[in-house]
Amino acid sequence: MSKSSVEFQVKRIISLLLEGGASDCILVGGSVRDQILGFQPKDFDVEVYGLTYEMIISILRRHYSYNVNFVGRSFGTIKIGSSIDISIPRVESKSGVGHRGFDVKCDPNLDLYSAFSRRDFTINAIGRRVDNSIYDPFDGVGDINRKILRAPTDAFCEDPLRVLRGMQFAARFGFSMDSKTIELCKRVFDEFNTLSVERVWGEWSKWALKGVELSRGLFVLRDTEWIQHFPEIADLINVTKIPTASVSGKISADENAFTNTARICDIAAKIADRFNFDNEERLTLIFSALCYNMSGMNFSRGDDLSYQELLELDAGFQSVNLSTRVKTPILRLASRFLNRLKPPSVVVDKILSTVGERLTNYFVTGERVFGDSCLRRLATRLNPSSIKIWAALCRSIIEANGKTDLIRQIEKCELRAEELNIINCKPKPILQGRDLIPKGVNPGKEMGKILNNAYEAQLDGEFNNIDEAIIWYNNCYNK
């Protein structure tokens, strides 16, 4: 349904409900907020006063029976199509802890002020009628102009998930949280464990996918102390980052790994936009940026190999599965953090592959790694992630550390990877089992060993097509 069609349907629905006896119909929530911010709303929420759920159904069924979902009876909600929600104001009374620890009762005769006072933030407690008049009892418009997240009332504490909603709103809109709301967030600190993993991931994914200034979301977590629920990120605050040039070119000697991570995340979001990353690529990049500094929890790097040793290891590298990779310190920490969020497993695998690349630190500090063999092996190691995502992470780190002269190095790497057709995937094996059967090699261990050796030779550039691969085989095995 087009934008104009949805808006027409909203106006028509409100007209039908008012004609049917509604005392008021008012647009609420994100659509009102987004219009004030200058964004085009995608979804519309209409709150209806003076009509019961059954009365609303009776009115709408005559006009929208083919496109109405009546599954939200317990919460007084009706969905029309995929973009319009109709709801009755609710009264919620606290009966326990957590987001499920309260009783919900629909009350079509509730007054506007009481209904709006239950909303999470003042920026979402703004109503707009079809004549464009605004109902704003808590000065949400003023808070939008001031770029402030503020709870309308202490009822904020009824749902602890609102703290994480504040995190992603701060990132999306570039807002800060006011001091009283920060204290309300601290009040529900112990209720974090009542939140389902799915709801926690839902807010983190919005932070990554919709966020513009991701650092602001991280600062909300820090200021509310909720960052302690994610200790792998909280611990970065206590790690002094090796002094590097800031974006302004000045040296920051007192920066910690947390603030550096926040800046890397901000730049990663811009890069994802610049290169039109899809959602999966963006999630992989943003969370790789968030986990990157976990490699520096101990800046002595006592467990790291020298650069030359890494290159020698790379020369004989065989792909390893993620369970083996997780033995490294950064991946133990990143895996533990991601396990708290439960992203889709395919995204977890890509994040771990990206942050687990041990050449990254050398690459972003000026070591030059351009050989075709190295690139092919890099693409193989990064699988199921890619050089495209890894290079974007390197760009983010380099820009965050003010070493923009190294960007050319990234561009060369990306260009050559594109020429080798490995920017988005690892090299496809040239020599395959079907090529060996005519040579008298039967499927089994012998064939597997030959194919493994062939793939290593391919990565080293010893052959580039099937004819050269057959010559390589004859030279190695048919002497």
Percent share of the chain, pLDDT over 70 = 84
Judge residue 130's burial from the number of C-beta atoms within 10 Å of its C-beta, 0-12 exposed, 13-18 middle, 19 or more buried: middle
Report the C-alpha gap between 170 and 217 in whole angstroms: 5
Residues 105-154 pLDDT 10s: 788 899 999 999 999 999 999 999 999 999 999 999 999 999 999 999 99
Tell whether the model's pLDDT for residue 252 goes beyond 90.
no
DSSP state of 176: E
Cβ neighbours, 10 Å, residue 77: 18
Judge residue 251's burial from the number of C-beta atoms within 10 Å of its C-beta, 0-12 exposed, 13-18 middle, 19 or more buried: exposed
pLDDT tier for residue 311 given thresholds of 50, 70 and 90: very low
Residues 395-427 pLDDT 10s: 999 999 998 889 998 999 999 999 999 999 999
Q: What is the pLDDT of residue 78?
A: 86
Q: Tell me the whole-structure pTM to 2 decimals.
A: 0.88
Residues 196-244 pLDDT 10s: 999 999 999 999 999 999 999 999 999 999 999 999 999 999 887 654 4
Give the least confident one: 109-113, 248-252, 283-287: 248-252
The C-alpha angle with vertex 356 and arms to 354 and 359, in degrees rounded to 5, equals: 90
CB 249 within 8 A of CB 370: no
pLDDT tier for residue 3 given thresholds of 50, 70 and 90: low
pLDDT tier for residue 79 given thresholds of 50, 70 and 90: confident
pLDDT tier for residue 327 given thresholds of 50, 70 and 90: low
Closest CA to 91 of 67, 77, 75: 75
Tell whether the model's pLDDT for residue 272 goes beyond 50.
yes
Question: Token pair of 78, please?
Answer: 């009706």
Sequence ranges of the domains in the chain: 3-146, 277-419, 433-477
Give the least confident one: 319-323, 324-328, 360-364: 319-323
Q: What is the pLDDT of residue 265?
A: 98
Q: What is the pLDDT of residue 91?
A: 74
- CATH superfamily placement of domain 3-146: Beta Polymerase, domain 2 (3.30.460.10)
